[in-house]
Chains A and B, each alone.
Chain A
């Protein structure tokens, strides 16, 4: 074997070992590195009331209820398999609408309602011009599929 080929084999072996190590590390981080729980993974993870977590999912259509004081709202976050009721007091982001994605920081209350301290809107991977949006109302459905994957 020429030294050139020896170096090539060595470099390739090292590279494959590195990529493998990277993938194993990433797989080990699978649960820990998720930025948020979805309603389904949340119930699986057995979150205690009072434990600070992040919840993400789609805002269920028709679930946003404005409170009497005008600044508190409740709504339901859903993924494909489960739903979670959320209460929030404050100003919502512009992109926070029914059928769109949301990420909420907060904790579970003893009665099972998730109390959010902050809300972030989550944009999906679809880019649709305004004038086409009315025709394309099934995009929110589409996002739901990709989000709960």
Chain B
């Protein structure tokens, strides 16, 4: 599953330019796709199955993480046949709690943020240490943050080497690399950071920590998907994508699936290659599904558990 880190250096100057106006136009086209009936129902199920159910708060407790783990497998038992989420996403100290709650044979993955999340201001040694401990405690996936300060200062080699080092520390765990696009200022930077992360061995590239106001958007995600597509065309290797933060409505989530399908192809439409990092999206999707199942009546949010 986890592919080995590429060993060759990537020529950062080769990252192609991105035309912001053109990206915005293409992004708008995805949102005019009209997703109806069976496509909508199927899409909503896919969305649920692609969610990394997330809690990343200072006030997190072991009890809350346990609740989250249960919810991941029992989204809304009133409707039979719903999928489970792809993963739960927690801070490193809660990985053990989550592993205990889910057991060893759960299909639900445990993702842990690491490397001094969300700022990334930690020594490289500390980052490796944190990553190894999270994986040792039972994390299947590691969500690291890149050093945006180094990136913006032009020290691309540092960013590349750091990602490669964390990839190594991950062992068999899959690595998601958070670019924190809201701090990267331009789409050209988003593209270059995506290329660096992919070539340094990322299994997934991820937009945001969710901790700053400008999180995942359709244009930013499109730029990252195009980087994945170009890499796939050249190398034959697939890389996953995870937009995170700011996706809380079903309709928007379905537009993301449209974008993935039309940019990368339907092969990416599974939680092996596409994830949503979200906390409140699941309940909105559940409300939409309940509406469809009940023949068109919206139900009160109080019927859906908040964990």
Chain A complexes with chain B: no
- Write the residues of chain B forming the contact surface with A, with a CB cutoff of 8 angstroms: none
